Chain A
Amino acid sequence: MTKVHVIGVGMTRFGKHPDRNAADLGAQALLEAISDAGIDPRLIEAAYCGHVFQGMVTGQRILAQVGLAGLPLSNVENACSSGATAIREASLAIRAGEHDVVAAVGTEHLTTRFAGALTPDPGDPEAAVGATMPAVYAMRARRYMAETGMTREQLARVAVKNRKNAAANPLAHFRKEITVAEVLASRPIADPLNLLDCSPVTDGAAAAILVSDRVAKRLGGGRTVRLAASTLLTGSVETEPTSMTFEPLTRKTAEAAYERAGIGPDEVDFAEVHDCFSIAEVLRVEGLGLFPQGEYPGAVERGEADIGGRLPINSSGGLIGKGHPLGGTGVAQVVELVRQLRGEAGDRQIPHPRIGLAHCRGGKAVGIEGAACTVQILVR
């Protein structure tokens, strides 16, 4: 079975784009990925498009924008893991031997679809009693603080770190650093989370060109990065209440990825994780096994997760700093991994990374621990 490689990536600036739409953002990202790969666009055999709220056949609108027609294309929705799922689908098509060159695009024009707190689907029993995504994570934060003694200031430091990284990322939604005091003084959203603990409502798109071994050898040049694992799992239906301060779903998805890639968590050099809220980064990083349970807040305080630290987390700025255009997020994480692994990350470059991990987790449905979780491992 062939291995899968990423030979080109592209992304738009993340932010508020009132004069754009999901299709033309996606097209911009795809054209950049094609250009980055240096391939004739006619070589693309199939495409997958991840988005959540952009309506029917958004992926086809993207292909139409860039002049590509006649390709098999599937639009995939997996909440905040939609883009990551598009990457996985593209990799499966290659591994299956069906295609050699596949495009994965993730896009979202979220500012025209949502304002304020994101909520689960209105039909969900928890949405019916007032669930919002910030509230769900706020409840987990409160419990985590009660169990581990994490302070509110420690939690704020996650957002401060990611906004600092975003300030060094020209494509990030936010380019201004913030302080712990500013996080604590920002508008309360769902106690204990404040506005600056939350990822923003963002428009943006990202794209990647995935290829087989055969094509990578022919076209990849020296900038090829191998997608060593791309795993996806749905959360378990709980038969009894379980801890909400640990993420079995993240752990299981990561273990499957580590096994596929033939590496352990101790070999990961840096990671992009789904920090939709400051507490989410804590839960994810510990779920991934990158830091011991209960110890990440202290590690952030000591600078271990900074660029230049022991294990940089969210060098791109993460969802909190770079922004979170739902469908675009999972692909944008892969863009960051590829740029870091190639040494093309500019002011936020991590010194000589070899293995990067990306984690997404999306959706909320009553009675399951998490809806869709993905882990990608990229190796230079």
Chain B
Amino acid sequence: MVPVHRGNGSHDPLTDPRRGVETDSTERPDGADEEATVTATNQATNPVSFRPGEFEVSPDGSGRLLGSRCRTCGAHFFPIRAACSGCLGTDLDKVRFATTGTLYTFSVVRQSTPAFEVPYVLGYVDLPEGVRIMSQISGCDAEEVTIGMELELAVEPFGASEDGTPLVGYRFRPAGAVAPR
């Protein structure tokens, strides 16, 4: 595990071993100083998240969903919360969730807002931490999608910002279908 340096100099709860956030111990990119990279001038070449508060994208193109873990009772939440609904504690760590999950249910959406090209598959994905994430399902035909299938997170193009910057977001694909980076 490579520590992620923060601009404010405080320890990073994501990688603090005292927290035992075991789900964060995998797949961290070996890209030393995230903060410096994000604020660098070569931003145009780095992927930009469509929702930075909920989905973190690293310079190497990998991405993680962000949430909270209650230090008192261990409950996990998506998105980041100010307090735990289980124990009402406010001592919450920011965590990166696992990139694998199981499909709870899904629909093929055929009518949506102009921001989304239809049809697309939308599903609820249960992550090992015990959070359920709504996500589009990609990487397979709609006919192949089934309740209970194993999925993994993929970073994919997700529209553009108002100034035209291409954005990336998350979709889940059938496990094993994500091309190795």
- Residues of chain A having any CB pair with chain B under 8 Å: 116-117, 119, 125-126, 128-132, 134-135, 138-140, 142-143, 146, 187-193, 236-241, 244, 366-367
Other A-B contacts than A129-B134, A188-B110, A190-B109, 17 sampled, CB-CB below 8 A, are A117-B111, A117-B112, A125-B78, A128-B51, A129-B169, A131-B122, A134-B111, A146-B147, A187-B110, A192-B107, A193-B107, A236-B85, A239-B76, A239-B84, A239-B130, A244-B104, A367-B77
Known: A130-B116, A241-B126, A367-B79. A135 touches B107 (CB 8 A): yes
Q: Please count the residue pairs between chain A and chain B whose beta carbons lie under 8 angstroms apart in the complex.
A: 105
Interface hits, B76-124 → A, CB 8 Å: 76-79, 81, 84-86, 104-113, 116, 120, 122-124
Q: Looking at the complex, which one of B54, B75, B85, B120 makes contact with A125 (CB distance below 8 Å)?
A: B54
B107 near A139: Cβ-Cβ < 8 Å? yes
- 18 residue pairs from A and B, CB less than 8 Å apart: A117-B111, A125-B54, A130-B120, A134-B111, A135-B107, A135-B112, A138-B107, A138-B109, A142-B106, A190-B110, A191-B107, A191-B110, A193-B107, A241-B130, A241-B131, A244-B104, A366-B78, A366-B79
- Residues of chain B having any CB pair with chain A under 8 Å: 50-51, 54, 73, 75-79, 81, 84-86, 104-113, 116, 120, 122-124, 126, 130-132, 134-136, 147, 169-170
Query: Would you give the shortest CB distance from A335 to chain B, in whole angstroms?
Result: 30
Query: Would you give the shortest CB distance from B133 to chain A, in whole angstroms?
Result: 9
Query: Would you give the shortest CB distance from B160 to chain A, in whole angstroms?
Result: 14
Q: Enumerate chain A residues within 8 angstroms of B110, measured Cβ to Cβ.
A: 187-191
Q: Enumerate chain B residues within 8 angstroms of A367, measured Cβ to Cβ.
A: 77-79, 81
A139 near B132: Cβ-Cβ < 8 Å? no
Known: A128-B50, A128-B51, A244-B124. A142 touches B107 (CB 8 A): yes
Query: Would you give the shortest CB distance from B1 to chain A, in whole angstroms?
Result: 26
Q: Enumerate chain B residues within 8 angstroms of A143, measured Cβ to Cβ.
A: 104-105, 147
B85 near A190: Cβ-Cβ < 8 Å? no
